[in-house]
Amino acid sequence: MSSLGVIDYGAGNLRSVLNTFSAAGYEGKLIRFVEDLEGITHLVLPGVGSFGDCANKLRAQGLEGPVKEWIANNRPFLGICVGYQILFEKGEEDPGVPGLGIFKGKVVRFPESDLKVPHMGWNPITEVDSDSLMWQGMGETPYFYFVHSYYPIPLDESLISATCEYGEKFAAAIQKGNLMATQFHPEKSQKLGVHLLKNFMKIAE
């Protein structure tokens, strides 16, 4: 039976994430310490705030190693927004703070242009692999809600599960094995967000 854990590192819209999972039919437990992971089958790292704050707080709570081990063991994991970004090696937002380094690549800021930064609002994504469990039942052009000024550039482009256009094309989501991560916010994306969380919880059922 699936058991959901949502990492609480002192930031992030945790109540919104938990409420959206509840709408998907799953009640979650907040994870603050290593021992809280006992019995958890599906782990979520939400993200609001800065790259550096998220990485530093995970380390301060002793969760960096357990998160890395969780992902290395191919256990179901979902990273959202900054929780997606810190999976990479480094970010322009806080260049002195290393990310988790799960994947090679960096997190960059949108270049100066006529477009507003942060990128905020509803945008369509383009699925790279429409057969992926991540996108099952989404339709041809799903829209999700974004709020961000930075985005990852994965060195391994095969990780990219979906792209989005905002002045330029960027990696809106990645997937590898039982890991999913999104730059958009499923918890702010209404019905399709709920559906994506259901798809995530179907991993390894």
Residue in 42, 119, 148, 185 annotated catalytic = 185
Q: Which residues pair with 185 in a beta bridge?
A: none
At 91, phi and psi to the nearest 5? Answer: -140, 145
Residue 125 has φ and ψ, to the nearest 5°, of -110, 160
**What is the per-residue burial (b if ≥16 Cβ within 10 Å, else e) of 37-64?**
beebebbbbbbbebbbbbbebbeebebb
Instruction: Indicate if 54 belongs to the active site.
Output: no
- What radius of gyration do the chain's Cα atoms show? 16
- Distance CA(18)–CA(106), nearest Å, equals 29
| Residue 137, SS3 per DSSP | coil
Task: Look up 187 and say whether it is catalytic.
Answer: yes
Structure tokens at 198: 């259901």
Amino acid at 83: G
C-alpha distances out from residue 137 to 16, 84, 109, 132, 164, Å: 23, 23, 32, 10, 19
The catalytically annotated residue of 119, 127, 148, 187 is: 187
- How does strand 143-148 pair with strand 119-127? antiparallel
Q: Which of 54, 81, 119, 195 is catalytic?
A: 81
| Active-site amino acid positions | 81, 185, 187
